[in-house]
Amino acid sequence: MKVLIIGANGQVGKHLVEKIQKTDSIQAKAMIRKTEQAAFFEDLGAETVLVDLEGEIEEIEAAIKDVDAVVFTAGSGPHTGPDKTMLIDLDAAVKSIEASKNAGVERYIMVSSFDTTREEIQNAITDAPSFAPYVVAKHYADDWLRKTDLKHTIIHPGLLTNDQATGKVEAAETVGRNEIPREDVAEVILACLENDATINKEFQVVSGEQPVKQAIESL
């Protein structure tokens, strides 16, 4: 299986490409925005493709045509404004979903935010207004994906950290708020790619006591 990782140069994306390249059955194709980002992935033996997520949908579609699955783990980042949030976390996500449909790629994994419900939008408007556009963007991107026929999985990770991976998580439709190392999120994505039982499911995931594969199998 060849998997296109959108947002490969992000921290979760890099961990994911590294993990995929260590498997025998999956190959990574890293979507990057700058040519200088390619060396990291080429050193891992991964294919790269240069695409600007703010560009046309046809550019994303061309990158998807030769793959079996797509993982969207791109994000505008915490230091950008609402404009970039809408362009990347919403518009680029929707474009990648539509591009996957157009290219005939059915398997799609979305790395979302921990809580993207309408209730969480209202909470953010009241308690953290600057965070509200991000929740709105993720809410509608997730909803767009749910309404397609794609074989999708939506992962809602807790607060991301750069702590060392533990390989153990808690995963369920709803879990208590907690942190999770980025590397463990990458391991969760890989487990979802390897387990068709995660198709058309979504779940929250934080650090916990279950090994990743066991937690994913129990969903």
- The Cα–Cα gap between 214 and 55 comes to 39
Which residue in the list 72, 134, 140, 203 is annotated as catalytic? 134
Work out the mean pLDDT of the chain and round it to a whole number. 96
pLDDT digits (tens, 9 = 90+) for 130-189: 999 999 999 999 999 999 999 999 999 999 999 999 999 999 999 999 999 999 999 999
| Total-model pTM | 0.96
Q: How many residues does the chain have?
A: 219
Which among 107, 135, 121, 109 is positioned nearest to 202, based on CA atoms? 109
Instruction: Kindly provide the b/e burial profile for residues 15-34, where b requires at least 16 CB atoms within 10 angstroms of the residue's own CB.
Output: bbbbbbbeeeebbbbbbbbe
pLDDT digits (tens, 9 = 90+) for 12-41: 999 999 999 999 999 999 999 999 999 999
- CB atoms < 10 A from the CB of 96, how many? 29
pLDDT digits (tens, 9 = 90+) for 93-130: 999 999 999 999 999 999 999 999 999 999 999 999 99
pLDDT digits (tens, 9 = 90+) for 66-99: 999 999 999 987 778 889 999 999 999 999 999 9
Cβ-based burial of 203 (10 A; exposed 0-12, middle 13-18, buried ≥19) = buried
User: What sections of 22-117 are H helices per DSSP?
Assistant: 38-43, 57-64, 82-84, 93-103
* Complete domains list, the chain, with CATH: 2-217 (3.40.50.720)
Cβ-based burial of 68 (10 A; exposed 0-12, middle 13-18, buried ≥19) = middle
Contact indicator for 64, 99 with CB cutoff of 8 Å: yes
Catalytic: 140?
no
Q: Give the pLDDT of residue 77.
A: 77
Contact indicator for 204, 156 with CB cutoff of 8 Å: yes
pLDDT digits (tens, 9 = 90+) for 41-64: 999 999 999 999 999 999 999 999
10 has a pLDDT exceeding 80 = yes
